[in-house]
Amino acid sequence: MTEGGPIMGVVLALAAVVLAAVAVLASRGTVPLLGVLAVLCLTARPVRQRLGTLVREPLGATLASFLVWALATTSWSPERAHGQSVVLSAALLALAGLVSTLAARTVPVRGARLAAGGLVWGAALLLALTAIELMSGSALLGLARALVGASGAVTVNSINPATAILALLAVAALPVLARRSGGLAVLFLLAVLAVLALAPMAAAAIAAALGALVAALALRAPRATTGFVLAVILLALLGAPLLRSLVDPDAAWIGELPASWRHRVLMWQFVAERIAERPWFGWGFDAARGIPGGDAELFVGALTVPLHPHNLALQVWLELGAVGAVLFAAIALVVLGAPLRPEGAVDAPAAAALAATWAVLAFANYGAWQNWWLALAWLIATLAIAAARAAAAEPE
């Protein structure tokens, strides 16, 4: 596989299909999946020839700067040893992700078309598997755990990672489907939203719906829509500490929220107060799990900060301070600024839609440094880049 070509396209297509199975049966499997994909990508000569350019490119340089700062902050983190191991994991995932996305950027058109087809089939498979799981009470996951002798009970929330992955994979597949048949794309979107509406985690359905809406708007005004999405993400990221002055923790409406959202609002208020104590440099990388007062109960069964604040912006500010927030904003500028350039690897509508979908989940659900979540972002980006490369070769 020295030149990449169709074989690399098959590898990328298989990654999409395997991702669908991993999403349902072992969501943490996104980490080894990305690792295997990166190793296979290294067998392609175009990838090996350009490896040295990765850290000199804007994304590689900004990621390196961010990781260096994250490592520096572990020196004052209450979770120093664990934080250092998480930085190392994030760095290895970033390296694997950069290699995989480089392969997607350099794969020949024929291989890119195979990858785009795999993306659609992977999304369709995950839609079917998620529907089965929701209707059967996660029977497939239960069977898989029983076969391997895994410990831990299957709960109603065990399906949540799969629904998040479905939202992202479906939004990534929509542009591919839309180019083949607009009607088919609409039917697929409606099926995805119907399935996600049954899920216990509402954020997945909201994320998919928002992503589809942004994609539709971006088709008419790609630069304006992508710029707007970027501005909203930057505002949410850089303005996160203002939550402390915007929300009254004693407001009556907070008590009327569902328990999960009441927990989030009160937790975010607590985190905003801790940010105000160390606004410039933060409490140190991965400090959220050991922040003073984080182990107290807000109400029965709800720790103040259960490992992380379920909000990317607040976690960045809490652990890395204003310096970290600016560096993360630089990453967002590179990622969403690239599609606005003529040579961008992903077209603006696809980038804007995926960014909006990801933002809903990142700002309301998952820990910023969870390995499976970081690996998932790289996998989705790789598949989206390959699909965009295939689309760019199609006649207007």
pLDDT tens sequence across 90-112 = 999 999 999 999 999 999 999 99
**Nearest alpha-carbon partner for 315 in 364, 375, 245:** 364
Residue 271 resides in a domain: no
CA dihedral of 9, 15, 17, 18, whole degrees rounded to 10: 150
- pTM metric for this prediction: 0.95
Give the residue numbers spanning the domain of 230: 5-240+309-392
Counted domains in the chain: 1
- Across the range 30-46, mean pLDDT stands at 96
- Name residue 336's amino acid: L
Task: Tell me what the pLDDT averaged over the chain comes to.
Answer: 91
- Spatial separation of the C-alpha atoms in residues 176 and 205, rounded to whole Å: 20
* Position 134 in a domain: yes
Tell me whether residue 358 is in a domain.
yes
Residues 55-93 have pLDDT tens digits of 889 999 999 999 999 999 999 999 899 999 999 999 999
Residue 334 falls inside a structural domain: yes
Q: Which of 128, 135, 77, 134 is nearest to 292 (CA)?
A: 77
Residue 300, in any domain of the structure? no
Q: Does residue 250 form part of some domain?
A: no
For 191-202, the pLDDT digits (tens) are: 999 999 999 999
Residue 296, domain member (yes or no)? no
d(CA 206, CA 374): 21
Tell whether 289 is covered by a domain: no
Mind listing the pLDDT tens digit for each residue in 209-230? 999 999 999 988 988 999 999 9
